[in-house]
């Protein structure tokens, strides 16, 4: 039986987020600067949390204490949303894979031509 689930991502493990960024950088899919924990300024406000700045983005992305993500890219004018989408997708992939393996599941990864990833979990 097949089950498809969509969900909103909360970043609960900043080390895994860093791993996701690093793996994408090694593959040449993004470039970034890790700013770490602190306070950073965007166009109209400051945010406190864990920050990283994607290449060609005007302002850093912030992961807040509750795991939500804040960023100011002015509807794509100050940074391409696809870059952040790649980071979130890789974070999800790493999180699901880690949890599945901890619980004894096998994982099959299928990557579509458009970059979409399907993870098949099997007991």
In a domain, 80, yes or no: yes
- pLDDT-derived band at 6, boundaries 50, 70, 90: low
Write the pLDDT tens digit of every residue in 36-72.
999 999 998 999 999 999 999 999 999 999 999 999 9
pTM for this model (two decimals): 0.88
Write the pLDDT tens digit of every residue in 70-108.
999 999 899 999 999 999 999 999 999 999 999 999 999
User: What DSSP line would sit under 54-86, residue for residue?
Assistant: ETT-SS-EEE-TTS-EE---GGGTSS-HHHHHH
In a domain, 9, yes or no: no
Q: What is the pLDDT of residue 8?
A: 76
> With 90 as the cut, is the pLDDT of residue 7 above it?
no
Cβ count near 63 (within 10 Å): 22
Containing 104, the helix (H) or strand (E) segment is: none
Q: Which residue range is the domain that position 58 belongs to?
A: 14-122
In a domain, 5, yes or no: no
Greater confidence, 115 or 17? 17
Q: What is the pLDDT of residue 5?
A: 55
Cβ count near 4 (within 10 Å): 5
In a domain, 7, yes or no: no
> With 90 as the cut, is the pLDDT of residue 3 above it?
no
In a domain, 8, yes or no: no
Q: How many domains does the chain have?
A: 1
> With 70 as the cut, is the pLDDT of residue 10 above it?
yes
Q: What is the pLDDT of residue 65?
A: 95
């Amino acid at each position: 039986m097949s089950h498809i689930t969509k969900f909103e991502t909360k970043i609960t493990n900043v080390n895994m987020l860093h791993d996701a960024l690093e793996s994408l950088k090694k593959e040449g899919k993004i470039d970034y600067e890790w700013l770490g924990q602190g306070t950073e300024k965007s166009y109209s406000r400051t945010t406190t949390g864990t920050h990283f700045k994607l290449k060609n983005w005007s302002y850093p992305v912030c992961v807040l204490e509750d795991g939500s993500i804040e960023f100011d890219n002015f509807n794509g004018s100050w940074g391409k949303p696809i870059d952040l989408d790649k980071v979130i997708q890789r974070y999800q992939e790493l999180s699901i894979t880690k949890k599945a393996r901890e619980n004894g599941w096998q994982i099959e990864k299928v990557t579509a031509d458009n970059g979409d990833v399907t993870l098949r979990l099997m007991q």
